[in-house]
Structure 1
Amino acid sequence: MNLAFVKHSLIAASILTSSAGLAQNKTDLKNWPKGFDPKEVGQRIADHFIATPHTNFGRPGPPKVITYPETCTWYGALKFAGVTHNKALLDQLEKRFEPLFGNEAKMIPVPDHVDYAVFGSVPLQLYIQTKQQKYLDLGKGIADKQWGAPEGPRVVAESHEFYKKGLAWQTRMWIDDMFMITALQNQAFQATGEQKYLDRAAKEMVVYLDSLQKPNGLFYHAPTAPFYWGRGNGWMAAGMAELLSSLPAKQADRARIMKGYKEMMASLLKYQAPSGMWRQLVDDAESWEESSSTGMFTYAMITGVKKGWLDAKTYAPAARKAWIALVGCIDTMGDVRDVCEGTNKNTSRQFYLDRKRLTGDLHGQAPVLWSATALLQ
């Protein structure tokens, strides 16, 4: 019998036993059964990331530039290092960055697209924790370019129209953007204290909410992709939670963003599977259970409970159940399974259902780190 299968079966059995045994503590987000402690889980995922070379969306060969799933995992590992005061982990994550100032400089993405510009969140978080000016200069420059005049081969006619409205010229009305854009601008605010970065992100978020959120609280992938794709909605949920954590109470757009966030969280409660997971298509009971969306929703819901935005009696049980289910997706190697591959927008339901289910893809590793960090804050 395959040893990996046996180990995975034992882990699954442990999960069922532990979660059943702690049913009376279903609102508890501090005490966990053996193997589910967020500090332990986060460290496993972070260590695995440190040991993983730059990845190319699961395709063979090294990437030409740092991809956004790696950026999001790197950022998550840095935040985890910060909340756990783990200087050794921080040093390792910084060491991973150093070649980008030298022989790997060409791997820094040109910030002419949201998926590339989000890379700036990593040097900005490094600056926040190390105070080294070189990280601030790099990250702030990327954040400012996102609101600068349109430039480069990716500019389209709409880029100029969005720019004239005071939005990022990289705006494209895909829900993925509401993590990619807001995470970068929020980190620029955290690093500099300059309110303009938060105001940019908040204005952008409101436009996306007004354009893409549906009456059920969920979001189409894009105006021409009328499906509630799991990870796309996850980017939106995580982006709102991140941004709301920084927005002052009196910021002009905060109330509108909070309204959109709460409507989404209420909808997610209805669509959570009995296992604690969410699905590849959130509202489609025939769709498979998908881990990256589950991780992002878990992070957003934990944050809301911890910050007092969400009623703990209502949402903490869902968040706890989701974390236990999410950890159950981690194999003995530290890889997360059932991660939807990178996905373009599409007009076909079957397209989304047929997406590959990957193991170890960084789209799935990142939100485990975010969720672990949120639980420890």
Structure 2
Amino acid sequence: MTTYFNEQDSIQTRLGKDNKQTLKVLADRYIGANPPVPFAFRAFSRGGVLQNVKGMFDLDLGRRFPEAKPGQFSYAYALVWSDGERNLDVLFNCLGPIQFYFNDELMYRSTVIDEIKPDATVKLNLDFVKGWNRLFIKAKHTAAGFGCLFGSDEAKVRILNVLAPFTERLGHAGWVFSSPIDHDIFEGRSLPDAMSSEKNNGLRWLPNREWDENELSLPNCERLFGRQPGKQAFAWTQLNNLRPGREACLIKGYAAGALTVWLEGKLVLDHTEEGNFHIEVPLTYGQHNLLIRSVCGNNPWGFALEASIGEEVVPLRLPKQVHGVADPWLYVGPLAANVSLSYEDFVQTDRVYTLDVNAEEKAYWRLDCPDTWIRPYYENAMLSNKWTVGNVTNYARWDYPLGVTIYGLLQTGRLLERADITQYALDHVQSCTDMFGYSLWDREQYGFPAINQQLVMMKMLDNCGSFGSAMLEAYQEDEDQGFMAIANRIANFIFHGLERKEDGAFYRICQDEYSENTMWADDLYMSTPFLCRYARITGVSEALDEAAKQFLLFRKYLYMPEERIMSHVFDFKYGIPTGIPWGRGNGWTLFSLTEVLEALPAAHEARPALVDFFNELCGGYADLQAESGLWHQVLNDTDAYEEASCTAMFAYSFARGVRFGWLREPQRFIEAALKAWDGLTRIAIDAQGNVHGVCSGSRYAFTADYYKKDLLTVKNDNHGVGIMMLAGSEVVKLNQWLADPLEVAQ
């Protein structure tokens, strides 16, 4: 029997058979360890280093400096913050000679082969330390090229956010890079101190962060948007009143053109001409939104404004925390006169603004700095080769393991009648969906999105199906129409964008990637539960038909009839299945089949075959259950360790099969489900609600050794926490059903 901790530390030792309390501990531990920390907003220069569609930072210095001479040097510099020790694979495409320094140590010097083959990729493995990590690139110009492309491997999953060095740019996102110089000034010398002034080394660092004197002499809207007769711009700040009580506040300033002012939604000034203005308004303690509308005529346009109570200045502050900026104003524009929006439409950061109702171009909030916008970043988990890092919140992330986690939280909250748990799950979903429109705009502007990376850069079922299914499950709690816009996009991808074999089976083309031309059992969960929920909500029966069809097709390729279990992968490059029955791959299969059977009408033509398939699989899995109650990482290999996530999936599926009447030998599977849950609460769930024994995210192999020896377990891995809650919820329901059996119509 595999041991993850002393049984005295198990949840069962502390709570016995109190399954609802066990679920409470699981859910509360997860929520406590994953606080609702939203996206971080930072200043970002559009004139800086952007990413391409693969997430590689485009440091093509030859394009930026076409006047550069052969033999000249430029430097690129960035910081990465890591809250712990992390390991990450990074990639280079060299456009010319480069040297890469990581934390001041030379990690890579390009070879002549690297330099003359710009499509060649070099992979390095970096060990990030806790705290600041420094990335420094020396690039030398040759006739062949100048600079490189750099980024993390699988960038939409392994998220690498970089910040600017130097005190003047503290908090800014993005790289800095220097204008070309004739000699390498850091040859034999220390690299520049990232926490010092950028002026200390005599280089001109870009992107430019300051206006010149002529630009500073212009009114703010003229400086930001240029002359735009008839157009309008909006500016947003907050009055930060630190005085207690309620007092009269004087707001005064100068308007270069027509100006409208709202304070907390109330119109307090409508100034139609150029000139000075002043108004007196009552102001209480705290922060108060101040929104300005400036209209451009035929002259320079903009405004200046200050507020005071008596002789004391009321400071202005940004209405949203934005790192890397001191100015208290956000601006958006120029909007055409035909764009008419309410005050409420503007005092938010989760939308983009149409510049003209007759055009598609959109805008977002920017800063009073050259070519600089605010930009939200996902900065929580995932600076790692691992799916799960133990001390970083997963909140606000869209990815497939968290889809199961959200589903588990929703079901647990409902079962325990804990509205706070279901609300937390809903809030996590909405933290992603509310910013979906923005994230599409972000990709268009910057090449690669800083949030919702997998949803926006949708390429495979992993990117959309699992979390999309959880989103539609959350739709029961709040019929958010934003959910359906995203669901329609996912459905369109599955029906019209996803790769299929000639018989219609889903598979992965993934050209030039490790999973090229393969079919994975995992993809049944990444597709069919979403299709079932989509069919239920929209009435599109073709989605349910597709889910049933895929099960029968996957059975043809992956089913191992002698043992009645599934191969993890079919590799079309070799024309054969791998023949390795990975535990969680089989768990995904059975888990998903219960979702399809629950949704499928009794008269559906595929139902008899799928019920038969369900019974065959359950019989095969039950034969392989270990004495401990768990299943092995490789199901038919007793030398493999006992793994928790597949065990939870089998317990969940067996319990549902009994309750819904699909299983022809119910007593056998009642015993197997309860035995599995007993094993999990003794062996895999400790008294603090930590989940052990869950293998990390997988690739695939034709050998069992990969799954047994390379795919090791990770404490509280996201692939296991949600399904543990789902399994526990189903065991509670099974026990309730056994006490008062109900006939379930087929």
Normalised by the shorter chain, which TM-score bucket?
Answer: 0.7 to 0.9
Superposition TM-score, scaled by structure 2 size? 0.44
Query: Contact 1:146/1:170 (CA < 8 Å) preserved in 2?
Result: no
| SS across alignment from 2:697 | coil
Which structure is richer in relative contact order (CA contacts within 8 A, separation 6 or more)? 1
Q: Which moved more, 1:271-280 or 1:172-181?
A: 172-181
Corresponding residue for residue 350 of structure 1: 705
| SS across alignment from 2:727 | helix
The verdict on how the C-alpha distance between 1:14 and 1:206 changes in structure 2, with shifts beyond 3 A counting, is: closer
Instruction: Report deviation, 1:67.
Output: 2.5
Unaligned runs of 5+ residues in structure 2 are 35-379, 440-450, 510-517, 571-576, 734-746
Instruction: Report deviation, 1:74.
Output: 1.1
2:414 alignment partner AA: G
* Selected match of 2:693 from 323, 331, 338: 338
Q: C-alpha distance in 2, partners of 1:131/1:14?
A: 38
* Selected match of 1:102 from 435, 447, 450: 435
Q: C-alpha distance in 1, partners of 2:388/2:497?
A: 34
* Selected match of 2:720 from 355, 358, 364: 364
Provide, for residues 254-297 of structure 1, a one-character-per-residue CA deviation record: whole Å limited to 9, x for no partner: 11111111111111121111111100111111111110111111
Q: C-alpha distance in 1, partners of 2:404/2:420?
A: 20
Q: C-alpha distance in 2, partners of 1:62/1:40?
A: 24
Instruction: Report deviation, 1:305.
Output: 1.1
Provide, for residues 168-225 of structure 1, a one-character-per-residue CA deviation record: whole Å limited to 9, x for no partner: 5768521111111111112212333432221111111110012211112101111242
The verdict on how the C-alpha distance between 1:209 and 1:220 changes in structure 2, with shifts beyond 3 A counting, is: same
Query: Contact 1:66/1:109 (CA < 8 Å) preserved in 2?
Result: yes
Q: Which aligned pairs between 1:294-309 and structure 2 lie closer than 5 A? A: 294-309=647-662
* Selected match of 2:32 from 51, 62, 83: 51
Corresponding residue for residue 195 of structure 1: 541
Instruction: Report deviation, 1:372.
Output: 2.2
- Equivalent pairs counted in the alignment come to 345
Instruction: Report deviation, 1:241.
Output: 1.3
| SS across alignment from 1:263 | helix
* Selected match of 1:232 from 571, 585, 588: 585
Q: C-alpha distance in 2, partners of 1:12/1:133?
A: 43
The verdict on how the C-alpha distance between 1:46 and 1:205 changes in structure 2, with shifts beyond 3 A counting, is: same
Computed over aligned residues only, the root mean square deviation of the Cα atoms, in angstroms, reads 2.7
Instruction: Report deviation, 1:366.
Output: 1.8
The verdict on how the C-alpha distance between 1:112 and 1:262 changes in structure 2, with shifts beyond 3 A counting, is: same
Q: Which moved more, 1:177-186 or 1:135-144?
A: 135-144
Query: Contact 1:221/1:232 (CA < 8 Å) preserved in 2?
Result: yes
Corresponding residue for residue 186 of structure 1: 532
Q: C-alpha distance in 2, partners of 1:304/1:84?
A: 22
Corresponding residue for residue 70 of structure 1: 402
* Selected match of 2:412 from 80, 97, 108: 80
Q: Which moved more, 1:323-332 or 1:85-94?
A: 85-94
Q: C-alpha distance in 2, partners of 1:288/1:323?
A: 17
- 1:327 counterpart = 2:684: no
Query: Contact 1:123/1:136 (CA < 8 Å) preserved in 2?
Result: no
| SS across alignment from 2:568 | coil
| SS across alignment from 1:180 | coil
Corresponding residue for residue 27 of structure 1: none
Q: Which aligned pairs between 1:1-377 and structure 2 lie closer than 5 A? A: 8-12=6-10, 34-53=15-34, 55-56=381-382, 57-59=387-389, 66-100=398-432, 101-102=434-435, 105=439, 106-107=451-452, 109-110=454-455, 111-118=458-465, 119-150=467-498, 159=499, 161-162=500-501, 165-168=503-506, 172-215=518-561, 216-223=563-570, 224-310=577-663, 311-328=665-682, 329-354=684-709, 355-377=711-733
Q: C-alpha distance in 2, partners of 1:192/1:44?
A: 36
The verdict on how the C-alpha distance between 1:357 and 1:168 changes in structure 2, with shifts beyond 3 A counting, is: closer
Q: C-alpha distance in 1, partners of 2:607/2:564?
A: 17
Choose between structure 1 and 2: higher strand proportion. Answer: 2
Q: C-alpha distance in 2, partners of 1:315/1:340?
A: 25
1:254 alignment partner AA: R
Choose between structure 1 and 2: higher helix proportion. Answer: 1
Provide, for residues 138-178 of structure 1, a one-character-per-residue CA deviation record: whole Å limited to 9, x for no partner: 2233133211235xxxxxxxx2x53x655557685211111
Q: C-alpha distance in 1, partners of 2:506/2:638?
A: 36
Q: C-alpha distance in 1, partners of 2:542/2:11?
A: 50
Query: Contact 1:125/1:191 (CA < 8 Å) preserved in 2?
Result: no
Query: Contact 2:567/2:582 (CA < 8 Å) preserved in 1?
Result: yes
Q: C-alpha distance in 2, partners of 1:257/1:289?
A: 28
The verdict on how the C-alpha distance between 1:48 and 1:12 changes in structure 2, with shifts beyond 3 A counting, is: closer
Q: C-alpha distance in 2, partners of 1:122/1:314?
A: 31
Q: C-alpha distance in 1, partners of 2:419/2:506?
A: 35
2:590 alignment partner AA: A
Instruction: Report deviation, 1:337.
Output: 0.6
| SS across alignment from 2:685 | coil
Query: Contact 1:277/1:290 (CA < 8 Å) preserved in 2?
Result: yes
Q: C-alpha distance in 1, partners of 2:616/2:726?
A: 22
Provide, for residues 60-104 of structure 1, a one-character-per-residue CA deviation record: whole Å limited to 9, x for no partner: 878895321112111221232234443222222222233322399
2:474 alignment partner AA: L
Q: C-alpha distance in 2, partners of 1:219/1:196?
A: 26
2:657 alignment partner AA: G
Provide, for residues 84-133 of structure 1, a one-character-per-residue CA deviation record: whole Å limited to 9, x for no partner: 44322222222223332239952252332111112211221121222222
The verdict on how the C-alpha distance between 1:186 and 1:85 changes in structure 2, with shifts beyond 3 A counting, is: farther
1:10 alignment partner AA: Q
Unaligned runs of 5+ residues in structure 1 are 16-32, 151-158
| SS across alignment from 1:240 | helix
Q: C-alpha distance in 1, partners of 2:545/2:524?
A: 14
| SS across alignment from 1:173 | strand
Larger Rg: 2
Query: Contact 2:673/2:731 (CA < 8 Å) preserved in 1?
Result: no
The verdict on how the C-alpha distance between 1:122 and 1:343 changes in structure 2, with shifts beyond 3 A counting, is: same
The verdict on how the C-alpha distance between 1:219 and 1:167 changes in structure 2, with shifts beyond 3 A counting, is: closer
Instruction: Report deviation, 1:14.
Output: 5.4
